[in-house]
Each structure stands twice: as structure tokens, then as C-alpha cells.
Amino acid sequence: MIEGGADRARPVASTLVPAIHGSEGFDDLRRLAERAARLGAEVIAAADRPEEVDEKAAGDYVTEVDRASEEAIRSLLSTATPDIPVLGEEAGGDTGESYWAVDPLDGTRNFVLGLPVVGVSIAAVRDGRPVAGAVVAPFLDLCFSASEGGGAWSGARRLAVSTRPFDRAVVATGFPFRSKHLIPQHLAALRRVLEEAEDGRRAGAASLDLAWVAAGVFDGFFELGLHVWDVAAGALLVREAGGIVTDWGGGDGYLGGDILAGSPSTHAALLRIAAA
């Protein structure tokens, strides 16, 4: 079991709301995000593999476990920070100057198949950028968290992106299965990556791919057509671990779903490949 399971009863400091709206540090929000992600992870870890699966779109699945995890997370966040709206993958919600972005079960298809690469991803977003967040993998005994200016962490270990050159890089990706029109663009980039880098990986959970970039396991990550709840927490982890995160044009629109992330050298190579 992941250490330090969520405490459902402990009250959250009243400073959390000004923390996201003000200029002070975001560590309280990081702790709350981690607490909420652990709570969702507990729901997932205690559940049986679902017998009934709903298909939102071709290849895009949701289960009662996704919904139960999000309900538990939403209840905690809404109680702790009632003035900050929650945007969840399953139940929707509102955005604003500040909001929570929640993926209650990233890698649902993996979960249904019995593949343990699944995560819970929660980020506090302010002025269009993630400022605190956490990613927890319930079956892998992993927890990652970060706050803007406070570094990226896994337990007591501070994370740092890799220093390998691009020809030694292992680059993660995900396929745009929801948006078939993006496949030619993705395949062109994937071919160049496989030609120039050492190898590639496709784990099936973007939040964990990004966390592993922050931890130096992978050197970079690229994907098209994701959503804010998929990438917000992981992108902050990469940034706080010394990496670079942009959209495919090199701008700051990565929360819109087209993302390039990596160590400085790998990100530069991915940006060059994306522009080709």
C-alpha cells in the first residue's frame, strides 16, 4: 500500500483558497492534491476489475470505479476549497481563473485489462498554468507531487530530469486513438523519434508518462489530443524537475492537449521533429 493514505476527516487549512489566488507558495495545495489523489487511489485499489464497462467513444472507456474515484476526490476538494471549482474527466465541471483538474483513473483501458499502469492525476491550475499537483499509481506503490517553485518529489526524493543525449533517449508517447485525423501527424513524429532516439515506450497513462519523465526514467514525452486533466499535474512535475513543457508549436498551450515534454536536450529535439 502507498504510504500515508488520505485522511478523510482531517480539516484543511483555511489558507488554501488564498494560496491559489495569491502570490504565496503553493505547498498547501500540493499536499491537498496528494491527499486527494491518494484517496482516489484507495478507491481504485479496493475495487474489483469491472464486469460492466461503458464506452464514451470508440476505445474510450469509463467504469463505475472511475466515477467512484472522482466522486471521492471531488467531495474532498469541494469541502477543503469550496471557492475553487473542480473540473473532472467524468462529471465535468467549471474552470476559471483558478480550478482543480482531476483525472480520477488515468489508463481506464489498462485497468479493465488488468494492466497495473494506471494513475490518479490532480492539479491546481491558476491563470492557465498548473501550480500544484500530484500523480499516484495505486498498483505500483508510486506517488509524485510538485508545487510551483517547490520542486518535484517522490516521497523524500527530489526529482530531476535525465541528462542523456537524444541519441540515448527513451521517449514515451501515446496514440491519438480518439482522434483518428491526428494519426498521420503523430506517426510522422514517431518515425523521426524512433530514427533519432534510442527507443520509445507506450504505457497508456499520460500522467505516469510525464511523472516518469520528471523522475528521469523517460527522457521525453509527446502526444496529441489530450485534455487538461491528463497533463496538468504531470507537466508541473516535469517543469519542477528541470524539464521543459510546451505545445507542439513551442508555446504554452499544452493544457489544450498537444504536448511536448522532456529534458532540455530531448525537448529541443522533439520540438524540431514536431516542426518538420
Q: Residues 259-274: pLDDT tens digits?
A: 999 999 999 999 999 9
Quickly state the pLDDT bin for 45 (edges 50, 70, 90). very high
Higher pLDDT: 238 or 53? It is 238
- Given a cut of 90, whether residue 256 has pLDDT beyond it is yes
**Can you read off the three cell numbers belonging to residue 32?**
491537498
Q: What is the mean pLDDT of the chain?
A: 91
What topology does CATH give the domain 16-158? Fructose-1,6-Bisphosphatase; Chain A, domain 1 (3.30.540)
Average pLDDT over residues 24-41: 93
- pTM: predicted TM-score of the whole model, two decimal places: 0.91
In whole angstroms, give the CA distance from residue 56 to residue 49: 18
- Per-domain residue ranges of the chain: 16-158, 166-275
What topology does CATH give the domain 166-275? D-Maltodextrin-Binding Protein; domain 2 (3.40.190)
Gap between the terminal Cα atoms of the chain:
45
- Given a cut of 70, whether residue 17 has pLDDT beyond it is no
pLDDT at residue 9, rounded to an integer: 33
In whole angstroms, give the CA distance from residue 77 to residue 12: 10
Please give the angle made by the CA atoms of 93, 98 and 104, to the nearest 5 degrees. Answer: 45
**Can you read off the three cell numbers belonging to residue 210?**
510525464
- pLDDT tens by residue, 63-83: 999 999 999 999 999 999 999
In whole angstroms, give the CA distance from residue 23 to residue 12: 19
- Same-fold call for 16-158 versus 166-275: no
